[in-house]
Structure 1
């Protein structure tokens, strides 16, 4: 009898842990809210299992249109007409469709299309597309009256239409992921507005009226601020210039609303522009991912590790949550707020990291490496991170050099041959976790995309400190990656990793494929078959080589996913397997 009771408790514990993981991975999100006509609020939600467009009329939430595939973005014309961007099975080949009552009209289905902006009269839609040559996102306009698409301008590289106002179309042109300028298209002429010397990130233009334009820039400064330019003279000045990044902003009449990156968390502010009087709005800790300000109402989405990703409305001094996505019985609020820490890396440089602790007793540590690398780990809702916490694991996430959020200089400290320093940042962090007693035994390491690459390099360059690894959609060979990535991406990635022509030797030395024999820890490899950023060939090479070496490797290829796992059912299945893999090896 005692043995039976003991077995029953073990079984209940096993299924309880498994169920909490599935609850965490099943949690839905709501994001990207926008005001529609009347009282309507639109947003994106994955309640149905993939991101779809939803509407809230003040009383009832409903899907706008049943849609196969993922809706990634949308725009609402002044007359209420909606255009959506969608892909299929995660292939990121965005197609554009207009939704008007019960009529669906295809706008552009070939190439890759970036959604742009409606004309003020709602009759035309500006967008950019690789429709012509498969590489350059040229400027196009769709005319609803003639149901036709016309190319307005050839613009090499990646370009995104940001706004269409009474004075013309404003476009952000990207030289690299961190170097951009703003173009103004008017009356058949394309003009560069934000001419500059040296690397400058200028984007997100918003027309104020009276020949004035606001935009985000880090011209002549370490951090991104808000600037104003006179369209007639070209003279510009900073409106907001601080020692941290402004990330989002919107303007209505004489009021400016903006967010600041405050060591990862978002600070939300509004300012009366004529007087400069500024007020901070109290919000939960997290990351604001979208905002819009109209008629004294502020609509925004906030992602928080212990609240989920939801839509909020700020009006008359009060913040109100508009959506309440299913949490599947998981008490997210039991998760403690993450701790921001700083550690000293191998060369004396201070590196920031976030330490996420589980609600109960810790069973081990996972080092979580963000992607990008032009990105940042922030205290936002990530289903996998929450599932790891609910499994009793501490998640430790370093913002190694090359991360954003710490200034223009810091983000370039990992370029080309300097990438060795970022790899050493991770190793130093793992050793620091053990020296501080946070990790009482060997941690596992996990990462996706660039984080997947860094996971492999960490396993290879310091094999003795890791219990296991989980690599997702990562790079195994920098040379084959650059050769096979989508053609419009290669140039932009070469600025980060190095050129195939000039830096091939460095690329080879910095490739996990060169050091794969040193990887001894058990490894799980996850990849989407439709990945156009990091082709699945990278995962196949990796798994094949490790198998030949007799290493423990488990390969999972998702036939209906791309660079990210977009479908909830796949997320639950695959991440559950990843956590079981980690739990199996972290306790040995």
Structure 2
């Protein structure tokens, strides 16, 4: 994850779990030797390369309350020590030896823009009611920030410490990312006009903007090089990553010969010649590639051997209302049947990257189908918003139609189709087994929501506001949310259900799975509940992932083998 190049040390830095936990690693460009840089007792979540040191973020058992450490000459010094706060990195102010950060107390709804000087010395500059993100220091104590206005979009604002008040830029709300500043010109990725993330040139002074690229897909990575005259971009085209070279004077776009059917997870550039990227595909675990722009050639610098190939394809199918739903499928020649996996988010996207669980299930003989049902990212704004609020069950019907499609195309028989999902995908799984119980052989729910009412009551008010744009609010949509609740319909479940959760989940409370498991046990239904004590919303310990994957594989294959 998170590949970065340090020109001063001529090294690549990245996060890897090859030691069993996520730690920071470095690779010497000259000899391509790797070395583990950190050995924290907790997982490394992120890092930032500064002039004379590296800042590393860790959290406690995946609770996402990041704490910062200054890594200098391989010695880690604690910068923050407030485990009751979530911290979000902003900027290191070199001359002052201080940091600009944003923090949020886990029990509160405010977000504090802060200046830190030494451990424990914190000046709260301004308090915001919504999540904010530091983008750039425009001049001394004048910052460009973004603020979340819902679960998808942000607005831009300038905060001047002298005036003490933020000024919102006259721009439409949108998805913003990857800001680059070339002298007085600001470039970024956003989706103002048509819902696809392209490069825009923005005048920070008056909010005027000009669209500079015109992809009908989302640009995912945007890196400058060649003295800021060119950019390297990768574009998410129907899930697959395509690599392009962009001239920032003529705006000519040239596709590079990266003809691999997978995903570029991270991208870094050295000088004017070498592009480094982390890549994986459905049967190729993560690799670090180097692409020589002059030679137009790729070489592998580090990574894993390719796995045994699988039969894989992408396609689409018509849903109940004619909407074309994209999906990809790991095909199988056995008659074990199929499992449908639904991604989280909901504003996310399943992509043809290496997924250990999908690969394992397919090798046990299962066909694995992975749809991007309505509400997924990557297909434009109308598709993204097509599952909002009262349209939630339309997304559920997309999965029902995929089941019908798999049976019609002879990838499964009607008696052996299972469903599973993670986070929002867990909610969708529970909706399917409670609203359409007769369709499923088995089901797996990983850190899923079982009742939106209880979810809202146990999540911080700011998150409740953000998610209401997607799910609706209890005040306005309460009767609908109660009616569709999987928890209230739990007696309808006939398929064996396996549930996984963790005690430190800051996004979907552990109680969401606990209450579903308990009520099913009381009703004498077939439910298995596994809880990990040292994980958060995203499981990161290798032993836990292996345990979960093998439990799921054994659970599904055993049930699918029964006639």
Task: Mark yes or no: TM-score above 0.5.
Answer: yes
Instruction: Give the ranges of 4+ consecutive aligned residues of structure 1 lying more than 6 Å apart after TM superposition.
Output: none
Q: 1:292 to 1:192 in 2, by over 3 A?
A: farther
* Equivalence for 1:280: 255
SS in 2 for 1:176: coil
Shift of 1:294: 4.3
* Equivalence for 1:474: 448
* Equivalence for 2:3: 33
- Distance, in Å, in 2 between the alignment partners of 1:132 and 1:381 is 33
How does the TM-score come out when normalised to structure 2? 0.92
Shift of 1:419: 0.3
Shift of 1:565: 1.5
Shift of 1:473: 0.4
Shift of 1:398: 1.2
CA RMSD of aligned residues (A): 2.1
SS in 1 for 2:349: coil
**Is 1:65 aligned to 2:29, yes or no?**
no
CA deviation string 1:414-460 (max 9, x = no partner)? 11111010111111111111122111342111111000010111112
- Distance, in Å, in 2 between the alignment partners of 1:164 and 1:218 is 23
CA deviation string 1:37-90 (max 9, x = no partner)? 2311110000111110001113221111211111111000023x1111111212
Contact 1:119 1:164 in 2 (8 A): no
Shift of 1:493: 1.4
2:17 maps to which of 21, 24, 46: 46
**Is 1:341 aligned to 2:315, yes or no?**
yes
Contact 1:93 1:112 in 2 (8 A): yes
- Distance, in Å, in 2 between the alignment partners of 1:184 and 1:216 is 18
Contact 1:90 1:561 in 2 (8 A): yes
Contact 1:270 1:281 in 2 (8 A): yes
1:121-200 alignment to 2 at 5 Å? Answer: 123-131=97-105, 134-143=108-117, 148-164=121-137, 169-186=143-160, 188=162, 191-192=166-167, 194-197=169-172, 199-200=173-174
1:19-418 alignment to 2 at 5 Å? Answer: 31-36=1-6, 37-58=8-29, 59=31, 60-79=33-52, 81-110=53-82, 111-119=85-93, 123-131=97-105, 134-143=108-117, 148-164=121-137, 169-186=143-160, 188=162, 191-192=166-167, 194-197=169-172, 199-209=173-183, 211-252=184-225, 253-283=228-258, 284-296=260-272, 297-316=274-293, 317-325=296-304, 332-336=307-311, 338-358=312-332, 361=334, 363-418=336-391
5+ residue gaps, structure 1, are 1-30
Contact 2:107 2:460 in 1 (8 A): no
Contact 1:126 1:140 in 2 (8 A): yes
The number of equivalent residue pairs is 548
Contact 2:37 2:74 in 1 (8 A): no
Q: 1:102 to 1:343 in 2, by over 3 A?
A: closer
Q: 1:319 to 1:149 in 2, by over 3 A?
A: farther
* Relative contact order higher in (CA < 8 Å, ≥ 6 apart): 1
CA deviation string 1:358-409 (max 9, x = no partner)? 5x64522110111111011110112211111221211101111111111111
- Distance, in Å, in 2 between the alignment partners of 1:96 and 1:520 is 47
Q: 1:558 to 1:216 in 2, by over 3 A?
A: same
- Distance, in Å, in 2 between the alignment partners of 1:299 and 1:65 is 22
Shift of 1:479: 0.5
Contact 1:313 1:319 in 2 (8 A): yes
- Distance, in Å, in 2 between the alignment partners of 1:121 and 1:270 is 36
1:427 maps to which of 391, 394, 400: 400
SS in 2 for 1:400: coil
Shift of 1:120: 6.0
Q: 1:332 to 1:170 in 2, by over 3 A?
A: farther
- Distance, in Å, in 1 between the alignment partners of 2:288 and 2:115 is 31
For structure 1, which segment, 365-374 or 234-243, has the greater mean C-alpha deviation from structure 2 after superposition?
234-243
Contact 1:127 1:140 in 2 (8 A): yes
Shift of 1:172: 2.5
- Distance, in Å, in 2 between the alignment partners of 1:439 and 1:431 is 9
Shift of 1:125: 2.5
- Distance, in Å, in 2 between the alignment partners of 1:70 and 1:373 is 25
Contact 1:120 1:166 in 2 (8 A): no
How does the TM-score come out when normalised to structure 1? 0.88
- Distance, in Å, in 1 between the alignment partners of 2:358 and 2:171 is 40
**Is 1:550 aligned to 2:529, yes or no?**
no
